[in-house]
Structure 1
Amino acid sequence: MADAESHCNRLLVAAMDFGTTYSGYAFSFPGKPLDIHNNPNWNAGSEKLISLKNPTCVLLKPNEEFHSFGFEAENKYCDLAEDDEHHGWYFFRRFKMALYETDNLTTATTIDDIAGKKMSALTVFTHAVRYLKDHLLNTLDNRDNNASINDIQFVITVPAIWDEKAKQFMRLAATSAGIKNDQLIIALEPEAASVWCQVETDNNQNVLSKPGYKYMVVDLGGGTADITVHQKMIDGNLTEIHKATGGAWGGNEVDKAYLEMLTKLSGTEAMQEFKATQMIDYFDILRDFETKKRSITSDGDGKVTIKIPISLRELAMKYGVANKNDKDILWTGDKLRIQISLIRQLFDGPIKGLIRHVEDLLSDPKMEDIDAILLVGGFSECQLVNAAFRDAAFNKKLIVPNEPGLAVLKGAVRFGHLPDIVSVRVSRYAYGREIWPDFDQTKHDVSKRSVQLGKPICEEVFYKIVSVGEEIPYGKEIKTTGSAFHIDQTIATIVLYSSLQENPMYVTSPGCEFLGIVRFTLPKGKILEDKNHTILLTFGDTELKVRVIIDKTKKEVETSLQCLQN
């Protein structure tokens, strides 16, 4: 496989890295797949931050129509708040984590805006994807490219630790935003970063492209840490050798700790009024800290100077809690002088949780021969994160590529050209379907006993199709069979479940969760066997796919997996 190869048959590949904190897009053409064009720089307006990505923020008008996205949305909402005209507007920021944190995600799931007003999560996500899509099309027009939306292979990134519901939610948002289903590929974020780092030319990471080399990819974003383990194969493809894992150890946890520190310092009432009346200053605090936190090192003593709007100090004085200066924190005018040890403590939660998790992964005997740890994502640019990995004594080579915050985005473009480059994936769950076999009193719970057509059966039995940790080649279809209950049955329903437990007995067992429903029409028949069918499930891709074939006619019936309930 040549590095410049492309399997894309469209005019170009365009990827959207839809992040918790920042989002962006990039694209390249099949003739030059590695010549990746990033979206233009976005400016915060306050000139405190210029970025190749835009904040993941959506502003909607009081009538719920879209107004703006990113820095423009932040600045407009600030202006509205300054004039006390923001009431009724909807401002959403850092809302991606809702798909990770919501236990029962549905198409009706709602999320809260900055003021606590609820709106359909699907509506908000659709607006965000549509904005990035339209901005991309405008960029292509400005470059005098003759590409229409039908000429584009779209790629949207999602964390590898997301379940099928969250992935399907993003696909639904994309189709609602005007991207056709057959033009969209879902890419897993750590996989995308791994793919990009295969073709980077930095001498430090050339080892990643050596056949047989094994490495852990730690993708550190704003919301989550997303971890997978890859091995480079002789044919140039990548094999996943450990199921994806991770948790909420992203850079946003540091921001939360910082805001908690400021709230404790100024008082809850002052902070609440500050957020409500001084929105420009509030966002300046967040933007300033976003830059500052990347430069905090593990060495040295003394204090760090952080600029704080005078409006917050005035509010703190108003509520009588601004005079808490001590040897560790000095607040004078518009500056905070904070002992650097206290700043480092803000990072303790996510960094310690991440290091413990990596230690647990590496304690697995299967992971003993891992050669390196690859750090990517915006939070990996933090020097404290780098120092924590160096100090952890993992006895592994530590690799941080150039522009680690763009590795996922560029890799997603590369993945769009070579969607089969990850040749083997490891299942995170045990997958199975619900069946109702004959009741066996020696192994079945009597509470599950029922009678169907005069015969005792056992309800809600978990029939395993894929095991936890099972290696599944790309594109492999796993077969399971089905039949009708009676000759007049016209609709078949297959209910799929997932579990972190290896062998759940029932679909109601602890840890077993609804995955999705497959419904399809059964053919007419003279005998029951005419309705027998084969279900083909593809688990080796970034999304679970399903096909159903009637055994007698060998014809495929129209169906799909519905993970999201209304």
Structure 2
Amino acid sequence: MLDCGGGTGDLTAYETDTEGRMVEIGLPLGGPHGAEEINRAFRDEHLLDRFGKLEILQDLAADHPEALLDLTEAFERAKLHFGPHETDPIYLTLPTAIDRRIGATVRKRLARKQNGVTDAIVVTADEARRLFDNVLPDILDLIGEQLKEVENTATATSRAPVVLLVGGFSASSMLQHAVKEHLLGRADVLVPPDPGAAVLYGAAHSAYEPHTWARRSRLTYGTCYCPEFEEGVDPEEYRFTLSTGEVHCKARFSKLVTRGDLVNTDDEAHLPYVPLEGTTRKLTFSLFSSTEPDPRYVTDPGCEYLGKVTVDLKKVMAFALEDRGVTLYMRFGETEIKARAVVRQSGEEAAASLGFLTNY
């Protein structure tokens, strides 16, 4: 699925499993390849060429921002209907504030560059196509990269790939044509009647039936723990000694979920832990994410602190140390990651939400 909106172009791939769920294939791709990049090129390149000086554009932006916005929005509307075989230019009538502001020098420049037209900004068909070149090649590269990954994971029973275009920019005739030409013979391309609204419909459907899909974890998740110190491997500054004389290592990363793992909406990853000291009356789990698949320490590059969960061990202090175990759970099925820690002997539980993480 290619979601092209104003700011970005984002790709993700799914396949249906035997239970009818949508299962994510690989990790999503994306970048700043939305419609706004074309609008930026229109303002910074095309208007600069027509007005002649950067200072003029800056003055218009400072004194008449609404008029400049109106001109850009007029181009925004026109470019959606501009097709690959279009030969007619795009005419954008100058807003009154801009028309009154430009002087004779700019007026002469407009006449020279636009075949005598001075009351509008003219974008020829070739100029419009060049503006689209600011994003279309990047979008096609992303599609090619994602499709290659899909093809590499395909099996004998896999269906032919289908690319669904959604998002406001996907209504663009130029974008639709470019994608169809790029994928000719490799994949079918589908465009809903209203690509912009399709994103909203999909979000609503996902909220009502979250069990119908499974995604890949964007990051590695886990907690900080203190296993035995490994001589020659762990840094000396992480060494510490327990009251029993055992030597352990601080700041180690204990993984619950690895980047790229398939995570169902109702999945709850878990691991067991025990306190190190017999005097420990509360056990705190510091939770971390990492951009790497196999971090060794929570201080490694790419690691980020997310929050903590603390459970009370007072009810199990009479048990042997090894019987004071706590299980840490992390749940990924909603808009926020939820963590909980449960004391196995007493059932004591503590929980925490780790915020709205759009990239989990």
Q: Alignment RMSD, CA only?
A: 2.8
Deviation, 1:308, is 2.3
Q: How far apart, CA to CA, are the structure 1 residues paired with 2:232 and 2:324?
A: 31
Q: How far apart, CA to CA, are the structure 1 residues paired with 2:305 and 2:32?
A: 22
Map of 2:332 onto structure 1: 539
SS in 2 for 1:502: coil
Map of 2:306 onto structure 1: 516
- Distance change in 2, residues 1:440/1:218 (3 Å): same
Deviation, 1:396, is 0.2
SS in 1 for 2:134: helix
Given that residues 425 and 541 in structure 1 are in contact (C-alpha distance below 8 angstroms), is that contact kept between their aligned partners in structure 2?
no
SS in 2 for 1:284: helix
- Distance change in 2, residues 1:228/1:563 (3 Å): closer
Q: Aligned match of 2:341 in 523, 532, 548?
A: 548
Given that residues 518 and 562 in structure 1 are in contact (C-alpha distance below 8 angstroms), is that contact kept between their aligned partners in structure 2?
no
Q: How far apart, CA to CA, are the structure 2 residues paired with 1:520 and 1:436?
A: 16
Map of 2:29 onto structure 1: 245
Q: Aligned match of 2:82 in 266, 291, 296?
A: 296
Given that residues 468 and 500 in structure 1 are in contact (C-alpha distance below 8 angstroms), is that contact kept between their aligned partners in structure 2?
yes
Deviation, 1:250, is 1.5
Mapping for residues 409-488 of structure 1, pairs under 5 Å? 409-422=200-213, 424-451=214-241, 453=243, 455-488=246-279
- Distance change in 2, residues 1:277/1:327 (3 Å): closer
Q: Once the two structures are superposed, what CA deviation does each residue of 1:337-362 show, in whole Å capped at 9, x if it has no partner? A: 22222222222232221111111122
Map of 1:271 onto structure 2: 57
Map of 1:366 onto structure 2: 153
> What is the TM-score normalised by the length of structure 1?
0.55
Deviation, 1:533, is 0.9
In structure 2, give the amino acid aligned to 1:227. L
Deviation, 1:323, is 4.6
In structure 1, give the amino acid aligned to 2:153. K
Deviation, 1:426, is 1.7
Q: How far apart, CA to CA, are the structure 1 residues paired with 2:113 and 2:129?
A: 13
Q: How far apart, CA to CA, are the structure 2 residues paired with 1:219 and 1:417?
A: 21
Map of 1:305 onto structure 2: 91
Map of 2:119 onto structure 1: 334
Mapping for residues 9-408 of structure 1, pairs under 5 Å? 217-261=1-45, 262-266=47-51, 267-301=53-87, 303-317=89-103, 323-325=108-110, 329=114, 332-364=117-149, 365-366=152-153, 369=158, 370-393=160-183, 395-408=186-199
- Distance change in 2, residues 1:488/1:322 (3 Å): farther
Given that residues 375 and 404 in structure 1 are in contact (C-alpha distance below 8 angstroms), is that contact kept between their aligned partners in structure 2?
yes
Q: How far apart, CA to CA, are the structure 2 residues paired with 1:430 and 1:238?
A: 22
Q: How far apart, CA to CA, are the structure 2 residues paired with 1:483 and 1:389?
A: 55
Moved more, 217-226 or 255-264: 255-264
Map of 2:289 onto structure 1: 498
Q: How far apart, CA to CA, are the structure 2 residues paired with 1:383 and 1:517?
A: 46
Identity %: 26
> What is the TM-score normalised by the length of structure 2?
0.84
- Distance change in 2, residues 1:314/1:539 (3 Å): same
Given that residues 13 and 146 in structure 2 are in contact (C-alpha distance below 8 angstroms), is that contact kept between their aligned partners in structure 1?
no
SS in 2 for 1:293: helix
In structure 1, give the amino acid aligned to 2:123. I
Moved more, 515-524 or 448-457: 448-457
Given that residues 111 and 117 in structure 2 are in contact (C-alpha distance below 8 angstroms), is that contact kept between their aligned partners in structure 1?
no
SS in 2 for 1:554: coil
- Distance change in 2, residues 1:490/1:277 (3 Å): farther
Map of 1:557 onto structure 2: 350
Map of 1:25 onto structure 2: none
- Distance change in 2, residues 1:535/1:311 (3 Å): same
SS in 2 for 1:442: coil
Q: How far apart, CA to CA, are the structure 2 residues paired with 1:300 and 1:507?
A: 56
Query: Which structure 1 segments of 5+ residues have no match?
Result: 1-216
Map of 1:177 onto structure 2: none
Q: How far apart, CA to CA, are the structure 1 residues paired with 2:26 and 2:290?
A: 17
Q: How far apart, CA to CA, are the structure 2 residues paired with 1:563 and 1:514?
A: 15
Q: Once the two structures are superposed, what CA deviation does each residue of 1:51-86 show, in whole Å capped at 9, x if it has no partner? A: xxxxxxxxxxxxxxxxxxxxxxxxxxxxxxxxxxxx
Q: How far apart, CA to CA, are the structure 2 residues paired with 1:548 and 1:411?
A: 33
- Distance change in 2, residues 1:523/1:276 (3 Å): same
How many residues are paired up? 345
Q: Once the two structures are superposed, what CA deviation does each residue of 1:125-173 show, in whole Å capped at 9, x if it has no partner? A: xxxxxxxxxxxxxxxxxxxxxxxxxxxxxxxxxxxxxxxxxxxxxxxxx
Deviation, 1:223, is 1.8
Given that residues 432 and 497 in structure 1 are in contact (C-alpha distance below 8 angstroms), is that contact kept between their aligned partners in structure 2?
yes
Q: How far apart, CA to CA, are the structure 2 residues paired with 1:458 and 1:331?
A: 77
Deviation, 1:367, is 5.1
Query: Which structure 2 segments of 5+ residues have no match?
Result: none
In structure 2, give the amino acid aligned to 1:363. K
